[in-house]
Structure 1
Amino acid sequence: MADRLRLGVNIDHVATLRNARGGTLPDPVRAARVAEAAGADGITAHLREDRRHIRDADVSAILEAITIPLNFEMAATEEMRKIALGHRPHAACIVPERREERTTEGGLEVAADQNRLATFIAPLSEAGIRVSLFIAADPAQIAAAHRAGAPVIELHTGAYCDLHAEGETEARDAELARLVDGAKRAADLGLEVHMGHGLTYDTVGPIAALPEVAELNIGHFLMGEALFVGLPAAIAEMRRAMDAARG
């Protein structure tokens, strides 16, 4: 079993709210500090090509403000690699990105792009950045991620969470079984396993219980809950649910 399950808090949508009106408030840097004080093990921020939420200046400010690791989500582009190498965050998670999508819709296609991705991530790894690939729980993608040289994968839990919300219990359980199998396959290859996307208090338990999983990255749900109970309380309840499932 992995050591204590880590919680990475994604603060992207604090920046989404700021950008909806313009100006500087609410401040994602303050959210990162609050999350750290509330017990987050890391902060996740996705610098998108169109800068729809996190901006370049936010990345610098967050790195200066926190003492816990930053997980820098990024597309596999030369621009983003240059930015990552300039900042040298603890980790970089390579995600698929399309301008027209509202949020990341699926996993990275590694199997068909393995050689390019291997070349792309090598300088990041050489710079001491821990690279992860955000992928579906598909055996071919997991094997390709390993061959590409990524030490970490993050399995996309979005379909599992969506099916749960829709009440499709049979399909949800089948998707959960895929995640269970994917985590085992990845661990057998020596990969560190993370999971994330769409997780809530209602769906986190079966994921947190998986002994191979080292880290969960959760953002949108926590920011939504924070509107009603405050960010520290939202994080504390997620931490409690994770610990109960893992315990």
Structure 2
Amino acid sequence: MEKTKLSVNINKIATLRNSRGGNVPDVLQAAIDCQRFGAEGITVHPRPDERHIRYSDVRAIRPIITTEFNIEGYPSEKFLQLVEEVRPHQVTLVPDPPDALTSNAGWDTQAHLDFLKEVIARIKATGARVSLFVETNEEDIKGAALAGADRIELYTEDYARGYNKDPENAVAPYAVCAAIAHSLGLGVNAGHDLNLDNLRYFVAQVPHLLEVSIGHALISDALYYGLENTIQMYLRQIALGHQDKQAQSSESTSVAD
């Protein structure tokens, strides 16, 4: 059974720094600390206006961490040149317009297939893995495979919205789409609005989940619990989710026997 890794998005730390100027909090130290506290990846999402993570941050972080470095962004020429310079382990492509407050939609991979093929080939030439941000749409997942992506990242806002009311129905489309992606040879990541309340259930119910990228909720929780403790709390929820998944698998095997 695949182990789900936790990648910590540190954008919000940069947002706090930028609100005052100077270098407090220290984004580079935060990346080092997240890694030291158990994070299995560091995610950054530099935007054209550099309102949180700056391009200079991306360049400075790459040589100081040994864990997976994941850069998210829209594949503009400037972004692609940054990827070619920095050579991260993973690049997650999102279809955000320049003024987007946060990522709020997945790729229409069919409409943008030729564009994505060209961009993905260019990124893969650097040695990076490529993941496409998608919604729970089978055709878009098929398009991700046709475009040459290595993984998809499932956009989980709908799951987070529906979790408190009806978790089973909220997670069902993600479980189905993860299985489809796996059948097409795609790895499965997930992110957006996952938190300490809904993460365990998501991990338990979604098969083949390789990585979750969590920023806003985790950094917000760190204000109360401290960064080290918070990362350990999220890792614990992932571990419990895997335990639940294994228990479900054992029960299914017993029933079948």
Is 2:75 the partner of 1:76?
A: yes
Shift of 1:231: 0.6
Contact 1:42 1:68 in 2 (8 A): yes
Give the letter aligned to residue 189 of structure 1: L
Asked whether 1:218 is paired with 2:210, we answer no
Q: Any runs of at least 4 consecutive aligned residues in structure 1 with deviations exceeding 4 A, and if so which?
A: none
The 5-angstrom pairing of residues 153-192 of structure 1 reads 153-164=152-163, 167=164, 169-170=165-166, 173-192=168-187
Structure 1 unaligned residues grouped into runs of 5+: none
Task: Determine helix, strand or coil for the equivalent of 2:154.
Answer: strand
Q: Any conservation in 2 of the 1:211–1:246 contact (CA below 8 Å)?
A: no
Partner of 2:44: 45
Q: Which residue of 2 aligns with 1:144?
A: 143
Deviation larger for 63-72 or 95-104: 95-104
Q: Supply the AA of the counterpart residue of 1:219.
A: G
Deviation at 1:10, TM superposition (A): 0.5
Deviation at 1:175, TM superposition (A): 3.4
Aligned residue number for residue 238 of structure 2 = 242
Distance 2:132 2:46 in 1: 16
**TM-score, normalized by length of structure 1?**
0.94
After TM superposition, give the deviation of residue 104 of structure 1 in Å.
0.8
Separation in 1, partners of 2:221, 2:72: 22
Q: Distance in 2 between matches of 1:26 and 1:109?
A: 37
Question: Does the 8 Å contact 2:179/2:207 carry over to 1?
Answer: no
Correspondence for 1:194 among 183, 189, 198: 189
Distance 2:217 2:159 in 1: 15
Q: Distance in 1 between matches of 2:5 and 2:214?
A: 11
TM-score (norm 2): 0.91
Structure 1 match to 2:252 = none
Aligned to 1:229: 225
Corresponding residue of 2:249: none
Structure 1 residue 228: Cα displacement: 0.9
Residue in 2 aligned with 1:117?
A: 116
SS in 1 for 2:169: helix
Q: Which region of structure 1 is more displaced relative to structure 2, 200-209 or 148-157?
A: 200-209
Native 8 Å contact 1:133 1:150 kept in 2:
yes
Q: RMSD between aligned alpha carbons?
A: 1.2
For the Cα contact (< 8 Å) 1:110–1:141, is it kept in 2? yes
Gaps of 5+ in 2: 244-257
The structural deviation recorded for 1:27 is: 1.4
Corresponding pairs, count? 242
CA distance in 2, matches of 1:188, 1:235: 31
Of 177-186 and 17-26, deviating more is 17-26
The CA distance in 2 between the partners of 1:174 and 1:106, in whole Å, is 20
Higher radius of gyration, 1 or 2: 2
Using the TM superposition, give the Cα deviation of residue 163 of structure 1 relative to its aligned residue in structure 2, in angstroms.
2.8
The residue identity in structure 1 corresponding to 2:201 is P
Q: Deviations over 1:73-114 (max 9, x none)?
A: 111211111110111111100012123332111112212101
- The structural deviation recorded for 1:29 is 1.1
Q: Which amino acid aligns with 1:243?
A: A
- One-letter code of the match for 2:25? P
What is the alpha-carbon distance in structure 1 between the residues aligned to residue 56 and residue 215 of structure 2?
A: 20
Distance in 1 separating the partners of 2:12 and 2:91: 19
